[in-house]
């Protein structure tokens, strides 16, 4: 079987339509999908799973209800149509499979799967397959029971790794599901139905025998045994129901406890947000106070500008007055000099008597100067006044209030925004934490432990009841044989019926176990081959599977290896998955979440070299941030047929696009 | 990618088990019983297949014991 | 002017209420801050306000104008008005107008102080 194309619409994080073309070439049959988180990659897997089996699986392999499969953004826009369309070929035939779900007309907002109507269409070589035949047709190609082994995500790998720790709780669960998988349903079903037919025929026989002389005792004995059988079967059903409900409770508790782990991180974030809010508040207070202080003196800035003009006038006046005074002084000085010269009657330098002509000149000069002087008024007072005024007005200066206010307003706004953000964050976190009560969590932890114990106890009880049933059945078989020998002619029919039913039931029953053993040998063989191809320790002989589907690595001496590295553990788990996958069907595509980041280079390269050879197509979902494509994927480079990348657009939407190989 | 390998294996197992533990059991009956189960193997409803199984057995009984009591 | 000047300055009843509100709204830390800013706003706009209606005393002149800067500013900017009334009586009336104007702006939305300062510088 080979996948051609997957188109999904409004499927989980993929709003609208996305499509992916699978590699068509036989050799270049590897496709790599890079994604940053689990959601986008697991959703791809789920799109294929939903198309084929009408189921998308979430954590703990629990089905995701249909209303949560629809992309959230599309749902918010009231578009509740979700679709997965797959084209593929199998056994030389071309198939088209389409599964759609849409809101039922009378439902306003879907809140449960029943609020949807689901339709499936399948064509084979262009011919439409009737609705009730679709499941059978698909089961021939890709049986659902083993779908988890070719559509597997990291959680499955984890579960299988835990399986290898014998006796662990998960191991028990895996064992059960494997046995279910490897037990061909036709046989188990047949045995159950035949058992019921046998029981009712036996009852009938007992009733008839009761009236036949000599056989009353046998009849009574058979009746008693049959009654006991029914009582055991009722007990078994009751116990199985109880086990199921206890498991469901336990899973819910596990979810709650896991969620609680995040509470601690949230509390740290809450504290940080509170500190931030406090800081913003204190900044606000400080800045507001600064602003008030600034406004108390800003009036000076208001006036400063207006006063500047006045100051300029005063300064000019001051200068003029100062110049005038200086000039006046100079003239007075010169008059003094002339007076002195006149009084001295002789030239100060040469000490000769001053000639009359000179004396006249000096006298004239003195007159001119005195006239000039009289024109200057005494502005000393005026100058003093102007200077005083100027000094006063100079005292009134601005404080750069304008620019400081602008800055303060900016700071205040930014602190307000910061505070609002912090307060929103606080509210949001508090809502998330609300209801996470530590006392409550402690109680849940206790309940979880008890649920685990209860499951163990119930499982043991179920085993015990099964053994009882087996004992009663054995006794009934003996009783039947006895009756057969003694049965008179008129009871031949019922006796024959009982015999046939018993023989058929026995054949089916024994076949189940035999077939399981046969299949387990096949799984062991295939897993061992896979392991030998992928292990870096070439001295190892292979794997063996024990009764709990626990696997042992066998070393060169034929002994089980006791201590295994984490890398080896994953390879062992992968080998088991590969073995189960290929036992359940012929070669086909595998879509898997890769543990590449956790594998050492040797194992990684082996894995990448081996898997493409045992699958028709290998789709690897790779965590983009954890690997270096050039080195970590080198081993598969030659076989790369297509590469895609999933990008997160928002926390409700992703998109997937093809990128260069 | 057929299941046929495994199914053939199931049938083959049934037949070999029959030869071993119930050699007197009609082989054809066993094949028919298996066929019914295979046809209904995905159905959760046992009513149809169960009834078919019982009818199958009754037919054989009727054929082998035509004169006996109504079983 | 021959009449003696005020010892206490005040506001009209209406403006006093407005000044109270401005303080309550948190615009100014103290009423005296708003008073002074009101004076400067009126001076910047060059308004010539009239007498106060229902006058109420508020501040001692010495508290309002310790360095006499307001007095000198008014004397420098409004010498003509001072021929009619005394400095602090003029200051009072300026404050009255200024406070009412600030209150009106505060009611309309937040007072844009940087803009007011900008305006004063450009006038």
d(CA B14, CA B16): 6
Give which of A2, A31, A27 is closest to A642, Cα–Cα: A31
A183 pLDDT exceeds 70? no
Mean pLDDT value across chain C: 91
d(CA A538, CA A527): 15
DSSP state at residue A145: G
Chain C positions in Cβ-Cβ contact with residue A396 (cut-off 8 Å): 69, 72-73
Query: Is A197 within 8 Å of B50 (Cβ atoms)?
Result: yes
* Helix orientation angle between B47-64 and A185-210, rounded to the nearest 10 degrees: 50
Q: C105: exposed, middle or buried (C-beta count within 10 Å: 0-12, 13-18, 19+)?
A: middle
Kindly determine whether residue C113 and residue A303, on different chains, have CB atoms separated by under 8 Å: no
3 state SS of A427: helix
A230 pLDDT exceeds 80? yes
Question: What is the reported pLDDT for A587?
Answer: 76
Average pLDDT over residues A271-286: 94
**Of A139, A197, A511, Cβ closest to residue B3:** A139
Give which of A122, A125, A115 is closest to A99, Cα–Cα: A122
Give which of A593, A577, A566, A588 is closest to A526, Cα–Cα: A577
Q: A192: exposed, middle or buried (C-beta count within 10 Å: 0-12, 13-18, 19+)?
A: middle
Q: What percent of chain B has pLDDT over 70?
A: 80
3 state SS of B61: helix
- Per-residue pLDDT of C54-64, as tens digits, reads 999 999 999 99
d(CA A494, CA B65): 10
A468 pLDDT exceeds 70? yes
Kindly determine whether residue A402 and residue C68, on different chains, have CB atoms separated by under 8 Å: no
- Establish if B60 touches chain A: CB-CB under 8 angstroms: yes
Question: What is the reported pLDDT for A480?
Answer: 85
Kindly determine whether residue A489 and residue B68, on different chains, have CB atoms separated by under 8 Å: yes
Kindly determine whether residue C36 and residue A406, on different chains, have CB atoms separated by under 8 Å: no
Per-residue pLDDT band for C109 (boundaries 50, 70, 90) equals confident
Query: Is A7 within 8 Å of A47 (Cβ atoms)?
Result: no
- Per-residue pLDDT of A65-75, as tens digits, reads 999 999 999 99
Kindly determine whether residue B61 and residue A194, on different chains, have CB atoms separated by under 8 Å: no
- Per-residue pLDDT of B28-44, as tens digits, reads 999 999 988 887 776 77
- Selected for mutation to probe chain B from A507, A512, A515, A614 (highest B CB count within 10 Å) is A507
d(CA A310, CA A37): 72
Please indicate whether chains C and A are in contact, defined as at least 3 beta carbon pairs under 8 Å: yes
Spatial neighbors of A595 by CB under 8 A, at least 6 apart, are A154, A157, A570, A574
Chain A positions in Cβ-Cβ contact with residue B69 (cut-off 8 Å): 208, 490-494
**Of C33, C41, C73, Cβ closest to residue A396:** C73
Kindly determine whether residue B34 and residue A208, on different chains, have CB atoms separated by under 8 Å: no
CA distance A494 to chain B (A): 4
Question: What is the reported pLDDT for B68?
Answer: 52
- The predicted complex's ipTM stands at 0.93
In Å, what is the CA distance from A118 to each residue of A16, A64, A121?
18, 15, 10
Chain A positions in Cβ-Cβ contact with residue C121 (cut-off 8 Å): 305, 402
Per-residue pLDDT band for C41 (boundaries 50, 70, 90) equals very high
DSSP state at residue A569: H
Chain C positions in Cβ-Cβ contact with residue A402 (cut-off 8 Å): 113-114, 117-118, 121
In Å, what is the CA distance from A438 to each residue of A156, A258, A320, A443, A451?
31, 13, 87, 9, 20
Query: Is A540 within 8 Å of A561 (Cβ atoms)?
Result: yes
Query: Is A631 within 8 Å of A11 (Cβ atoms)?
Result: no
| Positive or negative torsion for Cα C90, C96, C102, C104 | negative
A435 pLDDT exceeds 70? no
Q: What is the per-residue burial (b if ≥16 Cβ within 10 Å, else e) of A248-285? A: ebbbebbebeeebeebeebeebbeebeebbeebeebbe
Q: Where are the domains of chain B?
A: 4-64
- Report H helices in A559-659: 566-584, 601-614, 629-632
3-class secondary structure per residue, C23-61: HHCCCCCCHHHHHHHHHHHHHHHCCCCCCCCCEEEEEEH
Q: For C2, left (φ over 0), alpha (ψ -120 to 50), or beta?
A: alpha
């Amino acid at each position: 079987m080979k996948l051609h194309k997957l188109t999904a619409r409004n499927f989980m994080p993929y709003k609208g339509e996305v499509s992916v073309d699978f590699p068509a070439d036989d050799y270049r049959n590897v496709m790599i999908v890079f994604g940053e988180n689990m959601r986008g990659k697991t959703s791809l897997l789920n799109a294929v799973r939903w198309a084929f089996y009408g189921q998308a699986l979430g954590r703990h392999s629990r089905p995701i209800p249909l209303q949560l499969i629809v992309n959230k953004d599309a749902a918010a826009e009231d578009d509740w149509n979700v679709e997965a369309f797959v084209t593929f070929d199998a056994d030389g035939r071309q198939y088209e499979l389409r599964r759609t779900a849409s809101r039922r007309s009378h439902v306003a907002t879907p809140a449960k799967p029943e609020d949807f109507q689901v339709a499936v269409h399948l064509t084979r070589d262009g011919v439409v397959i009737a609705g009730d035949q679709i499941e059978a047709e698909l089961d021939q190609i890709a049986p659902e029971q083993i779908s988890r082994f070719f559509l597997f995500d990291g959680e499955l790998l984890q579960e299988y790794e835990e399986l290898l720790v014998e006796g662990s709780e998960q191991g028990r669960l895996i064992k059960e599901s494997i046995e279910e998988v490897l037990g061909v349903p036709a046989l188990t079903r047949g045995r159950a139905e035949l058992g019921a037919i046998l029981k009712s025929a036996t009852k009938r026989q007992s009733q008839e025998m009761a009236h036949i002389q000599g056989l009353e005792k046998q009849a009574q004995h058979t009746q008693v045994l049959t009654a006991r059988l029914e009582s055991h079967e009722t007990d078994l059903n009751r116990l199985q129901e109880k086990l199921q409900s206890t498991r469901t409770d336990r899973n819910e508790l596990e979810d709650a406890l896991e969620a609680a782990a995040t509470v601690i991180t949230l509390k740290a974030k809450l504290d940080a947000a509170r500190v931030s809010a406090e800081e913003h508040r204190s900044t606000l207070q400080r800045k507001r106070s600064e602003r008030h202080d600034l406004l108390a003196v800003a009036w000076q800035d208001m006036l400063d500008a207006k006063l500047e003009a006045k100051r300029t006038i005063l300064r000019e006046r001051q200068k003029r007055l100062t110049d005038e005074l200086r000039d006046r002084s100079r003239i007075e000085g010169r008059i003094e000099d002339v007076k002195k010269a006149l009084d001295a009657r002789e030239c100060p330098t040469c000490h000769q008597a001053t000639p009359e002509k000179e004396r006249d000149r000096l006298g004239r000069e003195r007159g001119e100067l005195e006239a000039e002087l009289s024109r200057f008024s005494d502005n000393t007072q005026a100058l003093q006044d102007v200077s005083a005024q100027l000094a006063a007005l100079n005292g009134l200066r601005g404080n750069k209030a304008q620019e400081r206010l602008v800055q303060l307003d900016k700071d205040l706004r930014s602190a307000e925004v910061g505070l609002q953000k912090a307060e929103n964050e606080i509210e949001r976190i508090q809502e998330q934490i609300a209801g996470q009560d530590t006392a409550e969590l402690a109680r849940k932890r206790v309940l979880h432990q008890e649920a685990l114990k209860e499951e163990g106890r119930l499982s043991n009880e179920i085993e015990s009841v099964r053994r009882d049933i087996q004992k009663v059945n054995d006794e009934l078989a003996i009783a039947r044989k006895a009756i057969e020998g003694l049965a008179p002619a008129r009871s031949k029919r019922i006796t024959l019926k009982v015999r046939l039913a018993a023989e058929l039931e026995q054949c089916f029953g024994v076949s189940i176990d035999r077939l399981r053993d046969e299949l387990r040998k096949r799984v062991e063989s295939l897993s061992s081959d896979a392991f030998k191809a992928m292990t870096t320790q070439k001295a190892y002989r292979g794997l063996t599977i024990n009764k709990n589907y626990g696997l042992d690595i066998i070393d060169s001496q034929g002994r089980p290896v006791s201590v295994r590295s984490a890398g080896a553990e994953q390879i062992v788990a992968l080998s088991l998955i590969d073995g189960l996958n290929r036992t359940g069907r012929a070669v086909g595509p595998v879509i898997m979440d890769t543990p590449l980041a956790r594998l050492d280079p040797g194992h990684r390269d082996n894995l990448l070299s081996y898997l493409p050879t045992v699958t028709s197509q290998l789709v690897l979902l790779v965590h983009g941030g954890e690997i270096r494509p050039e080195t970590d994927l080198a081993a598969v480079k030659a076989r790369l047929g297509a590469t895609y990348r999933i990008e997160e657009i928002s926390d409700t939407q992703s998109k997937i696009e093809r990128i260069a190989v | 990618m057929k299941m046929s390998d495994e199914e053939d294996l199931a049938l083959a197992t049934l037949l070999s088990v029959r030869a071993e533990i119930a050699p007197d059991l009609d082989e054809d009956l066993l094949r028919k019983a298996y066929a019914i189960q295979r046809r209904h193997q995905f159905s959760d409803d046992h009513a149809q297949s169960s009834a078919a199984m019982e009818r199958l057995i009754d037919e054989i009984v009727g054929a082998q014991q035509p004169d006996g009591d109504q079983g | 002017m021959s009449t003696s000047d005020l010892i206490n300055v005040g506001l009209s009843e209406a403006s006093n209420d407005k000044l109270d509100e401005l303080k309550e709204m948190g615009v100014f830390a103290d009423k005296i801050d708003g008073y002074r800013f009101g004076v400067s706003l009126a001076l910047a706009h060059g308004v010539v306000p009239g007498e106060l209606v229902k006058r109420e005393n508020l501040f001692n002149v010495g508290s309002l104008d310790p360095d006499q800067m307001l007095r000198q500013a008014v004397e420098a900017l409004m010498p003509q008005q001072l021929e009619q009334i005394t400095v602090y009586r003029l200051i009072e009336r300026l404050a009255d107008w200024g406070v009412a104007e600030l209150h009106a702006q505060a009611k309309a939305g937040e007072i844009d102080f940087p803009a007011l300062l900008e305006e004063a510088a450009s006038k």
